[in-house]
Structure 1
Amino acid sequence: MWKLLYKLKSLVVYDADREFYAKIFPGSVQNKDLLRMRKMDHSDLAAVLAIEELNYEFPWPKSIFEDCLRTMTYTNWVCEAPEDKLVGYCIICVAAGEAHIMNISVCPGFKRQGAGQKMLEHLIEYARPKAEKIFLEVRPSNPGAMVLYQKVGFKEIGVRKNYYPAKDGREDAVMLALDLVPML
Structure 2
Amino acid sequence: MTQAGTDVPPAHVGLAAMLARIHALSFPPAHRWDAAAMTTLLGMAGVSVLVADAAEGQDSAGFIMARTLFDEAEILTFAVVPAARRQGLGRDLLERCVRQVAGTGATTLFLEVADDNRPAMTLYHAAGFTQVGLRRNYYPDGADACVMQRKL
Q: How does 1:160-179 map to 2 (within 5 A)?
A: 160-166=135-141, 170-179=142-151
Q: Is the 8 A contact 1:75 1:93 kept in 2?
A: yes
The alpha-carbon deviation at position 78 of structure 1 amounts to 1.2
The alpha-carbon deviation at position 55 of structure 1 amounts to 2.0
The alpha-carbon deviation at position 96 of structure 1 amounts to 2.4
**Aligned residue for 1:71?**
44
The alpha-carbon deviation at position 97 of structure 1 amounts to 0.7
**Partner secondary structure for residue 164 of structure 1:** coil
**Aligned residue for 2:70?**
96
Q: Is the 8 A contact 1:74 1:92 kept in 2?
A: yes
Residues of 2 paired with 1:90 and 1:50: CA distance?
Answer: 14
Residues of 2 paired with 1:105 and 1:74: CA distance?
Answer: 16
Aligned mate of 2:121, from 146, 149, 168: 146
**Partner secondary structure for residue 137 of structure 2:** strand
Residues of 2 paired with 1:46 and 1:60: CA distance?
Answer: 10
Residues of 1 paired with 2:16 and 2:115: CA distance?
Answer: 28
The alpha-carbon deviation at position 41 of structure 1 amounts to 4.3
TM-score (norm 2): 0.83
Q: Which runs of 4+ in 1 moved over 2 A?
A: 40-47
The alpha-carbon deviation at position 165 of structure 1 amounts to 1.4
Identity %: 29
Residues of 1 paired with 2:140 and 2:47: CA distance?
Answer: 23
Residues of 2 paired with 1:107 and 1:80: CA distance?
Answer: 13
Residues of 1 paired with 2:78 and 2:131: CA distance?
Answer: 18
Residues of 2 paired with 1:46 and 1:132: CA distance?
Answer: 31
Residues of 2 paired with 1:163 and 1:148: CA distance?
Answer: 21
The alpha-carbon deviation at position 89 of structure 1 amounts to 1.2
Q: Which has the higher relative contact order, 1 or 2, with Cα contacts under 8 A spaced 6 or more apart?
A: 2
- Any stretches of 5+ residues in structure 2 without a counterpart? 1-10
TM-score (norm 1): 0.70
Q: CA RMSD in A?
A: 1.5
Larger displacement relative to structure 2 (113-122 or 53-62):
53-62
Aligned length: 137
Q: Is the 8 A contact 1:42 1:69 kept in 2?
A: no
**Aligned residue for 1:131?**
106
Residues of 2 paired with 1:171 and 1:152: CA distance?
Answer: 23
Answering whether residue 25 of structure 2 is matched by residue 54 of structure 1, we say yes
